[in-house]
Amino acid sequence: MRLDLKHFNLALILLIGGMEFAYAEWIGNVTAQYEFNSNLSNAQPTADINSDSAFRMNLSGGKYFQLTDSTGLTMTADISGTNQIRFNGLNNISYGLSTSLRHKFGLGDSAPWVSIAGSAAYHDFENAPRDGWRYNLSLAMGKRLTDRFTLQLKYRYDEQIADRIFNILGLTLQTFEEDEPPIPIYGDAFNLSAHNISLTGIFTVTDRLTGYLSYTRREGGITSTIGYDPEILEYGDAVAVDRAFGNNRYAYKVEASTNLVSVGLSLAITGHASFNLGYDWMETTGNHNLEYNNNLAHCSLIYSFE
Amino acid sequence: MKSRYLSLMFLMSWGFTLQATELDVVVTDKEGKPILDVVVMATPTESQTKANNSQKTVVIDQIDKEFVHYVTAIATGTPVQFPNSDDIRHHVYSFSPAKQFELPLYTGTPAKPVIFEKPGVVKLGCNIHDWMVGYLYITDAPYFKTTNNEGRAQLINLPEGKYKVQLWHPRLAVLEEAPQQTVVVGDTEKATASFQLALKPELRPRRAPLSIQQGY
């Protein structure tokens, strides 16, 4: 599955890139963002909860191809840099490619549409165990229901694969048969995959102000970082040393369900630029009684060259 | 000889009676700011002046993914050409009852203009760039013009008389009656009229980027 996603994205890009289109349009955008996360470590014990702020810059550039009257293809190269204020081990640069194919069913701004999109990006962290590829594949549909209201439904599969895995010797699963040898816990705590489904409502407040409300349900692996506590770690599907949050810190992976509610406002500054404010509330419940919350606040400036 | 003299005098007096003058209309919003792209129409209330049936082709261009101009007023029966001055393709369409048409993906200028045979409002869109919106107002009024950046429209060469002056704008508040006034264009050089309009917000799809974070 991991190779399929990476190869799918690259194959699509090479295939489309090799085709000739008479009409292609250069597109691009720049995003500068500030973000605060109340629980960056995704921890449950109060002593292990770490908040932090980050500055992020994204550059994306590529081409838009109008394939038919109703179908358009977007292909971009993307570069992103994140700088954490406290936990510099999570500073990272990522570079990758994105593609998106969108089809409208009919004529006009109220015609329903569907899209399929994929991306592959390599993330290079200051904390090396997290280095690796991240992939996304999504299917979405949407429709402008009234002059003021648009609804979108999206399914997204995401996967991240670390370059290297470091096993912690002697760490074994807590539960095993007495006559069987202990089952070691492997160190692939930063290898995650998840299924996400989201429903988003976008509301036009004024000609320049747009609001959105979104609910996402995520099912998949999460990584939580805590101090050394074998009673908790031995329930993990994987455990790794995590120096991004300091010494004597361990990341463990479990399967979890996350409810995410997002709200935001976007102000059009010009036809090409916007200022955006957003707040996300996340509640995660994992196997073995893991529960934690995150509150994220973010603001961004986006300039689009379209 | 006498009959020729009398004919000449008659024609000269008729010419004085038909002295054309100017009607200057200013349109502002409730805060006093000028409103651009208001269609101003003047129709004589007493005489049966024929509508302006000029067959001169009007041009609505597409520049930087916007219709230029946003509002265009034309006489009924006018042909309109839709050149695409962008280096990408557009797909122009309209669902309006006054004229439904479609110009599928194209560059350059279409071979034939589109003729608008019925009076009314035609809302233009581009199927590729949803934020692209323009309006054509097709009128039977003999005199019409759209306001400029100063909210001003100058109608020239109007014969003396009483005129019904009406306005139209795509964002006129729904509950408001069509604004109109009766104006006398007399023997002074310029008649004036002013209007104050309430406009509703423009609710077309937004061009500026939107950030929706849904990530974990």
Pick the residue from chain A with its C-alpha nearest to B65.
A306
Q: Which of A240-254, B9-23, B92-106 bottoms out in mean pLDDT, i.e. has the lowest?
A: B9-23
Tell me which chain B residues have a C-beta less than 8 angstroms from the C-beta of A154: 214
Cis (ω within 30 of 0) for the bond into B69? yes
Interchain contact, A200 vs B214, CB within 8 Å: yes
A73, A107, A272, best to mutate vs chain B, most B CBs in 10 Å: A107
Q: What is the DSSP string of B129-171?
A: STT-EEEEEEE--SEEEE--TTSEEEEEEEESEEEEEEEE-TT
* pTM, to two decimals: 0.86
Interchain contact, B213 vs A264, CB within 8 Å: yes
Interface of B with A in 49-108 (CB under 8 A): 65, 88-89, 91, 93, 95, 102, 104-105, 107
Q: Strand runs (DSSP E) across B20-89, as ranges? A: 20-29, 39-44, 58-59, 61-63, 66-68, 71-75, 78-81
Nearest to A304 among B209, B213, B214 (CB): B209
Interface of B with A in 183-202 (CB under 8 A): 201-202
Task: Let me know the angle formed at the C-alpha of B56 by B53 and B62, rounded to the nearest 5 degrees.
Answer: 120
First-last CA distance in chain A:
34
Percent of chain B with pLDDT over 70: 81
pLDDT string in tens for chain A (306-residue length): 344 555 555 555 555 554 445 468 899 999 999 999 999 999 999 999 999 999 999 999 999 999 998 999 999 999 999 999 999 999 999 999 999 999 999 999 999 999 999 999 999 999 889 999 999 999 999 999 999 999 999 999 999 999 988 887 777 776 656 677 777 778 899 999 999 999 999 999 998 999 999 999 999 999 999 998 888 888 889 999 999 999 999 999 999 999 999 999 999 999 999 999 999 999 999 987 889 999 999 999 999 997
The residue behind tokens 């295939």 is A15
Interchain contact, A25 vs B88, CB within 8 Å: yes
Pick the residue from chain A with its C-alpha nearest to B101.
A107
Tell me which chain B residues have a C-beta less than 8 angstroms from the C-beta of A72: 128
Interchain contact, A31 vs B211, CB within 8 Å: yes
User: What are the start-end ranges of the H helices in chain B?
Assistant: 2-17
Asked if ipTM goes beyond 0.90, one says: no
Pick the residue from chain A with its C-alpha nearest to B123.
A108
Question: What is the rounded CA–CA span in Å between residue B86 and residue B70?
Answer: 16
Q: Is the dihedral of CA A242, A246, A250, A256 positive or negative?
A: negative
Nearest to A272 among B125, B208, B210 (CB): B208
Pick the residue from chain A with its C-alpha nearest to B64.
A306
A63, A266, A299, A301, best to mutate vs chain B, most B CBs in 10 Å: A266
Q: Which residues face A73 on adjacent strands?
A: A65, A101
Pick the residue from chain A with its C-alpha nearest to B133.
A109
DSSP state of A76: E
Cβ count near B190 (within 10 Å): 11
